[in-house]
């Protein structure tokens, strides 16, 4: 019943909006796109993103219904990504923060964000799978997947925060000491870390997706592991020996 609720809510809401939009007499009285200066549409899309974030996590968890019917698995992720895309389009139309504006500081920042979120999926999937595994080898595989996700999430989070200058202590070190400038993004340090993360995930993908390992049964973990390796390849592009410019 809980699984049905996620689809029913997001089916009825667009149906209601489209019905009022197609019927001209109703659209004149209730124009969803202009209510509250368009903010109602934005709030609705934000609720949908949060709704499907929880719904996707619930349905694709280890032992969830998404593994009984793969169309549920793919449609839940598609609903989440569609909601995020719609919210991003609304933000661009209303001159609010968009994904492009959030990730345009450097050529490597979008890839670090992709690595970060894929790492979170890998970590969360493996941590959740530990509760249902029954063999020592499967538990060991889950623990390794947790380590893979946590380490790559920490590295990617470091460079994301460096781009936004949230790590003020590191920024002050870089300004105060010429020898500490290698910590900044856009240089050889970022390139080296990107190569190490690539190597880390080559090992991780080999171990986690081999026969009998946990990614053979936890689809989200396997896809996210391949996703991190693919996304992290983009970090090697556009990196030179100089400091990054915003």
Taking Cα atoms as reference points, which of 186, 200, 189 lies closest to residue 229? 200
pLDDT at site 244:
42
Taking Cα atoms as reference points, which of 42, 58, 62, 41 lies closest to residue 7? 58
pLDDT at site 172:
52
pTM of the model: 0.68
pLDDT tens-digit series, residues 56-88: 888 888 777 777 777 888 888 899 999 999 899
H/E stretch holding 209: none
Residue 103, token pair as written in the block? 């990730």
pLDDT at site 116:
92
Per 3-state DSSP, the chain is made up of helix, strand and coil in percentages (nearest 5) of: 75, 0, 25
> What interhelical angle do 39-59 and 2-22 show, nearest 10?
150
Dihedral sign for Cα atoms in the order 188, 150, 6, 4: positive
Question: What's the DSSP call for residue 67?
Answer: G
Please give the Cα distance from 8 to 2 (Å, whole number). Answer: 10
Cβ-contact 115, 231 below 8 angstroms: yes
With a cut of 70, which residues of the chain have pLDDT below it?
1, 26-27, 31, 33, 166-186, 210-246
């Amino acid at each position: 019943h809980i699984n049905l609720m996620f689809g029913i809510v997001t089916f009825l809401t667009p149906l209601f909006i489209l019905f009022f939009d197609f019927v001209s007499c109703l659209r004149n009285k209730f124009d969803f796109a202009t209510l509250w200066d368009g903010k109602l549409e934005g709030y609705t899309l934000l609720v949908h993103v949060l709704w499907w974030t929880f719904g996707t996590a619930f349905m694709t968890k280890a032992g969830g219904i998404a593994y009984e019917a793969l169309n549920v698995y793919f449609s839940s992720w598609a609903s989440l990504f569609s909601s995020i895309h719609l919210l991003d389009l609304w933000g661009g139309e209303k001159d609010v923060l968009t994904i492009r504006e959030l990730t345009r500081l450097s050529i490597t920042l979008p890839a670090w964000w992709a690595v970060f979120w894929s790492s979170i999926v890998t970590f969360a999937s493996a941590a959740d799978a530990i509760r249902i595994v029954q063999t020592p080898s499967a538990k060991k595989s889950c623990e390794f997947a947790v380590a893979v996700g946590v380490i790559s999430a920490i590295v990617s989070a470091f460079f994301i925060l460096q781009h936004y200058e949230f790590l003020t202590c590191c920024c002050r070190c870089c300004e105060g000491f010429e020898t500490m400038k290698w910590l900044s993004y856009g240089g050889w340090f970022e390139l080296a870390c990107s190569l190490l993360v690539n190597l880390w995930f080559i090992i991780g993908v080999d171990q986690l997706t081999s026969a009998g390992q946990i990614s053979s049964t936890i689809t989200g973990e396997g896809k996210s592991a391949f996703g991190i390796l693919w996304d992290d390849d983009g970090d090697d592009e556009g990196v030179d020996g100089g400091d990054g410019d915003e």
